[in-house]
Structure 1
Amino acid sequence: MSAPIKSRTFKSGNSVALRLPKALGVEAGAEMVIREERGRYIVEPVKTVRKKIDLSGIYGSIPGLKPIERLDMEPRELDRDGKLLKRD
């Protein structure tokens, strides 16, 4: 656990703000969650969820885009180093 860092609140419009020192490594514009627990304020970054991109709507609109053909799906043997063994 690192040493505590002190900072003062200041007025920003109709709100009270807290400046986070650069040493904390928080990027400007980062979205944060603030909650109170037993008289303490906890400030944490918002966990971002990566969205999956659905490309099914553009199939056929890109020249040369073809579905992947099903390959031979038989299990293959690996050597001790994890490399594929040659087939007969």
Structure 2
Amino acid sequence: MGEEYKAKIFKSGNSLALRLPKALGLADGEEVVVIPHNDGSFSFWKQDQSQEILLGLYGSMSAGFMSDGRGDVDQADRDWGDDGGATAAA
């Protein structure tokens, strides 16, 4: 695992901002993707690395992943009838 950094959250207008150390190698104005996890932690990466991150997930699941299927997934009935003209013209 790499070096550990601390960051500080502060108020910026009506939002919260996260001040990250320059040592992380992010440039001013660079966009990042932030993913919150159920345990309260977050993952983030540079937006231009999204494809690399996604491809890195390939093969990372255990051999038994979903071996029992998806389980019971309730699906709501859908009305495929008239949508009030919301369908885009072809």
TM-score (structure 2 length as normaliser): 0.48
Q: Which has more helix, going by share of residues?
A: 2
- Which protein is bigger by CA-based radius of gyration? 1
> Which one scores higher on RCO, CA 8 angstroms, separation ≥ 6?
2
